[in-house]
Amino acid sequence: MKIAKEPIEFIITPVQSGNRIDKLLALINPEYSRSYVKKLILQGGLYINSKNIKDPAFKVSSYQKIKIVIPLIKELQLEAQNIPLDILYEDEFIIVINKKAGMVVHPGPGNDKDTLVNALLHHCGNNLSGIGGVQRPGIIHRLDKNTSGIMLAAKNDTAHRVLSKDISLKKVERIYKAFVWGTPKMVKGEINLNIARDPQDRLKMAVTKKGGRSAVTQYKILKSYHYASKLQCILQTGRTHQIRVHLSHIGFPIIGDNVYTRGRNKSKQMPDIMTNFSRQALHSGSISFQHPINKKFMQFTQNLPYDMKNLEIELNKHNKSIDNLY
């Protein structure tokens, strides 16, 4: 990773007077997001008239001398691993990958190898954005370990900032396929329920009436089976475990999701694959966005992986066998 720039120094003009320092710095230096500037200030990187200020909301006055010290970006301590990647598209700014189920996206405590980031470091070298932090180079959005499908990563900070902003403005469309227990009454619908950490289990997320973060998932039934259905889900937001939490909350948990599947009444007539599926049957099947640099519209789709395709085949077979009984 490259070393940061020299300190930023300037004098507040009368026109700039009265502005919050974090907002002003983000406006003057568009390569740094406001959230990054805020973090920088809280970590002690701001000096006003040689005095260290740690208040991002500090309002500046005319002729104050501002100095921002940009810390050195730490060298990545992660290991670049030669892990095969299913690359759908790549240029000097972005890379689009079809992630297999079972692969963790980025390192975490006790899990610093065999992740997508380790694979990207080997494939891209230092050509990955650093905005996501030392442990998440290039990563704009995540997929859970046992969710398969399309992911988009950035190869420089400019691409990262543009795509992150586009996601927040809902300009990036992400479409998922899921197989769930049961069939919703409505053919299509929208789940608009806030999500927060589950107070009973901090490793899980849960719908909450107070606080939390806004979360919106749109769904449509693609096919109904006797004990299950195939859904298309579109994310309007991107909260942790969002689709899994939302579908579970309305009573239709994803097949194979042992974390969010509440007790289901099992029937001897159910196909075994429904109760024995080894992971959540959730696949990121499509992403569309505007290229961060050349602004061309881009869309990528990926068919269901083998295990979910096999699940679909077995559910179809089971439908026919049940229908033949009547």
**Per annotation, catalytic residue among 22, 55, 91, 144:** 144
HSE toward the beta carbon, residue 157, CA cutoff 13 A: 13
CA nearest neighbour of 125 among 95, 168, 164, 96: 95
Annotated active-site residue 144? The verdict is: yes
How far apart (Å, rounded) are the C-alpha atoms in residues 88 and 10?
A: 45
Q: Are 191 and 252 in contact (CB under 8 A)?
A: no
Q: Are 175 and 234 in contact (CB under 8 A)?
A: yes
Which amino acid is present at 57?
A: A
Q: What is the DSSP string of 136-178?
A: -TTBSS---TT-EEEEEEESSHHHHHHHHHHHHTT-SEEEEEE
Q: Which long-range contacts (CB under 8 A, 24 or more apart) does 43-48 make?
A: 43/71, 45/69, 45/70, 45/71, 46/21, 48/21
Please, what is the angle between helix 34-42 and helix 21-28, to 10°?
A: 130
Q: How, if at all, do strands 148-154 and 282-290 pair?
A: parallel
How far apart (Å, rounded) are the C-alpha atoms in residues 148 and 301?
A: 12
**Token pair for 81:** 């691993």
How far apart (Å, rounded) are the C-alpha atoms in residues 318 and 227?
A: 10
Q: Are 276 and 201 in contact (CB under 8 A)?
A: no
Q: Are 220 and 232 in contact (CB under 8 A)?
A: yes
How many Cβ atoms sit within 10 Å of the Cβ of residue 150?
23
Q: Which residues are catalytic?
A: 144
